[in-house]
Amino acid sequence: MAEAVRLAAAEDIQAIMALEQGAIAHPWPEEDLRRLISDDDKFALVIEDEDGIEGYIGVSVVVGEASVGNLVVRADRRGRGLGTKLVEALIAELLRRGAEVIYLEVEDTNAPAIAVYTRCGFTEYNRRRDYYGAGRDARLMKRAVAGA
């Protein structure tokens, strides 16, 4: 089976938690993941193959402004375009939902994530010094949902 992207559901929470455990320094608490999936102003997309969930992206949307909360691809599946597919699917879903702009923060040293966002049309509009801790700056990026 080729990869497919779909909306995350409550049944995916354990799989998303397992994915985060091995992939990022500060996995999201279960309660936050639950809210990401159940709250009206938030949603998540997962990408999966026959072995299960390989990655996910979470977003909240307030009056047409979307904010990406997290993007994770399983460590052993990176570099195959899955992160890019997730971001492209997110843009398409936000277009359907009538959102206008997408914002995100990414650590300045996170070259793979910056490569994905740049390829998907995001541009840097500001920086936040020490956003992730002393000496760890954030790049603030955005993209219009339609066009770009």
Ligand X SMILES: CC(C)(COP(=O)(O)OP(=O)(O)OC[C@H]1O[C@@H](n2cnc3c(N)ncnc32)[C@H](O)[C@@H]1OP(=O)(O)O)[C@@H](O)C(=O)NCCC(=O)NCCS
Question: Contact between 23 and ligand X (CB under 6 A)?
Answer: yes
Binding residues among 65-124 for ligand X as defined by CB under 6 A: 71-73, 78-84, 106, 110-113, 115-116, 119
The answer to whether the CB of 31 falls within 8 A of the CB of 72 is: no
Answer yes or no: are the C-beta atoms of 134 and 92 closer than 8 Å.
no
How far is the C-alpha of 45 from the C-alpha of 77, rounded, in Å? 17
Phi, psi of 34 (to 5 degrees): -60, -45
State how far the Cα of 51 lies from the Cα of 93, in Å rounded to an integer.
24
Q: Does 24 engage in binding with ligand X (CB under 6 A)?
A: yes
Q: By C-alpha distance, which of 63, 15, 12, 10 is closest to 39?
A: 10
Q: How far is the CB of 64 from ligand X (least distance, A)?
A: 22
Chain position whose Cβ is nearest to ligand X: 83
Comparison of 59 and 72: residue with beta carbon closer to ligand X: 72
- Which of 105, 124, 131, 132 is flagged as catalytic? 105
Task: Indicate if 56 belongs to the active site.
Answer: no
| Least distance to ligand X, CB of residue 40, Å | 24
Cα dihedral 25, 40, 106, 122 in deg (nearest 10): 150
Considering the complex, what minimum distance in angstroms separates the CB of residue 126 from ligand X?
Answer: 15
Name the minimum Å distance from CB 115 to ligand X. Answer: 4
Q: Which chain residues interact with ligand X by CB under 6 A? A: 23-24, 71-73, 78-84, 106, 110-113, 115-116, 119
